[in-house]
Structure 1
Amino acid sequence: MSPDGLAILENLEKVAAERQRREADAGLEASTLAVKAYQHSRFARTYADLLSQPRYAESARFFLDELYGPQDFSDRDTQFARVVPGLVRLFPQELVGTVKALSELHALSEEMDSAMGAATGSNSLDARQYASAWQTVGRPQVRARQIELMLQVGSALDRYTRNPILRHSLRLMRAPARAAGLPALQRFLEAGFDTFRAMKGADAFLQTIAERERDLAALLFAVDLASPRAARELSALP
């Protein structure tokens, strides 16, 4: 199998391991779901302006649901793991590279969400609890890598919109992808392509996400939770 295929499988194995660990610990499962739910609502608040703008709403919703959503992606992941060799043969190399980045982002997010859930031990979170868990887990380099991968996936989808041949090829992949057991992956790629094409240029959109996510990460690492100013600083969190 190609290096990209092996990397995708390794990332999916990490995701499966995190799920199994949480399934064996009901408390960790509940607290991790609380982390995911908080992050989903946080993203909706941070990007309320983009979600309300016709030009950016669909793409922001795509990010919110596909990359930040608290929903269970196990069906999609099972499809990936079962047919990765066929995926690598079937899809164009550029798309395989995007799937690799997506799988790494997914693995890192699952690992960090579990770590945050273990740090909070709570079934619901407020800003202070979230910031405390963020600082307890730490790992700023991993946080930066998550943002980098998210932007990498977005940039790739934006590039694809300028390649009509690739879009046509993607449409032709529907039947083979369905036959190969890859409908969830096909839907993800087509939805991403279509929402980014409708935006007619993603540079400003992706720059906004990069700036806000990096500013948020820096603020969460910097806030002194023992300071009297902490409540005011946390209230300013997007």
Structure 2
Amino acid sequence: MSKLAILDELLERYYQLHYHKQPDLLRRLQDVQAWQKARMQHTHAKQFAEKQNILMSEYFLNRLYGGPDFDALAEQIARLMKYAHKAEKLIPENAIKTGTLGVELAILAVQLDEEVAIQLLQDFHPYEALTDDMMRDTYLKLDQGQSRLNQLALLDQLGASLDKYMRSFVVYTAFKMCKGTANKYNFNTMYEFMQEGFLAMKPLKSAEKFVRDFTQTEREIIEKVHSGDPKPFQ
């Protein structure tokens, strides 16, 4: 079985999301994503502002939490599957596993936020500006606590994988050698998705620690939301 086969399953999940065919839902989803990013920037301001963390925080906000060009990335991944046999010879197995985990996290973030957007459309005017109270009430109504905790567990796995597999000089050298091929066959968006991960990790002593600090705070917020705290995001 191809090591890239799981990407087919992830893409199927992604293309089944409702917002692809519903402009109103897409607009509300974008509102949710913007709120999420602003909230995370505020919540993790101290961590994100540390010099060595800046690139990784940008990678989190722009890649793993609903990047604007994920449709282009998904299209390139779909095309890659036609060349899976060749790709597996070029890309180290551990890099494939880590990259796949990053894609899974990006899709899961969109999936969870789409659920929020759907609920918001049911409960509020579609153009009403989002507030913390609206988001807290919607999270509670959807009871997303466990799903969000599962998302954070996957994120912890990604942090560990980045430290374990992606700091290797051999892996990075092999990855850089693929750049010409990626550009030649128009896989540049996918290449950039992974390259930004490499560059973001470089200033860090430990990607795992960065992620663990982030997820610890996020878990505290989830606990506050579901324990009835009226101001869980502050």
Q: Same fold (TM over 0.5)?
A: yes
Aligned residue in 2 for 1:148: 153
Structure 2 counterpart of 1:117: 117
Q: Is the 8 A contact 1:12 1:103 kept in 2?
A: no
Q: After superposition, where does 1:180-199 map in structure 2 within 5 Å?
A: 180-199=185-204
Deviation at 1:36, TM superposition (A): 0.7
Correspondence for 2:98: 98
Paired letter, 2:54? A
Q: Deviations over 1:151-205 (max 9, x none)?
A: 2223322334531111111111111222343212211222211221212323432
State yes or no: 1:13 paired with 2:12. yes
Q: How does 1:49-128 map to 2 (within 5 A)?
A: 49-69=46-66, 71-84=68-81, 85=84, 86-121=86-121, 122-123=126-127, 124-128=129-133
Structure 1, gaps ≥5 residues long: 225-229
Q: 3-state SS of the aligned residue for 2:34?
A: helix
Give the Å deviation of 1:33: 1.2
Superposed CA deviations along residues 86-114 of structure 1, whole A, max 9, x for unmatched, are 54443111111112212322332222111
User: How many corresponding residue pairs?
Assistant: 226
Query: CA, structure 1 residues 188+93, in 2 after alignment: closer, same or farther (shift >3 Å)?
Result: same
Q: Is the contact between residue 37 and residue 70 of structure 1 (CA under 8 Å) also seen in structure 2?
A: no
Of the structure 1 ranges 111-120 and 130-139, higher mean CA displacement relative to structure 2 is found in 130-139
Aligned-partner residue type, residue 44 of structure 2: Y
2:23 to 12, 23, 26: 26
Mapped to 1, the partners of 2:207 and 2:102 lie a distance apart of 18
How far apart, CA to CA, are the structure 2 residues paired with 1:191 and 1:25? 31
- Check whether the contact 2:56–2:197 (CA below 8 A) recurs between aligned residues: yes
> Cα distance 1:97–1:203, how it changes in 2: closer, same or farther (>3 A)?
closer
Q: Distance in 2 between matches of 1:102 and 1:185?
A: 11
Rounded Cα–Cα distance in structure 1 between residues aligned with 2:131 and 2:144: 21
Distance 1:184 1:72 in 2: 8
Please say if residues 105 and 150 of structure 1, whose CA atoms lie closer than 8 Å, have aligned partners that are also in contact.
yes
Question: CA–CA distance in 1 between the matches of 2:72 and 2:156?
Answer: 24
Q: 1:183 to 1:130 in 2, by over 3 A?
A: same
Preserved contact between residue 161 and residue 197 of structure 1 (Cα < 8 Å): no
- CA positional deviation for 1:41: 0.7
Contact 1:40-1:69 at 8 Å conserved across structures = no
Percent of residue pairs bearing the same amino acid type: 22
Q: TM-score, normalised by structure 2?
A: 0.87
Q: Distance in 2 between matches of 1:107 and 1:190?
A: 19
TM-score scaled to structure 1, two decimals? 0.86
CA distance, structure 1, for counterparts of residue 139 and residue 7 of structure 2: 27
Q: Is the 8 A contact 1:87 1:96 kept in 2?
A: no
CA contact (8 A) 2:76 2:187 kept: yes
Matching residue of 1:227? none
Deviation by residue 1:15-38 (Cα, 9 ceiling, x = unmatched): 1221xx224323222221111111
Query: 1:44 is matched by which residue type in structure 2?
Result: Q
The answer as to whether partners of 1:80 and 1:185 remain within 8 angstroms in 2 is yes
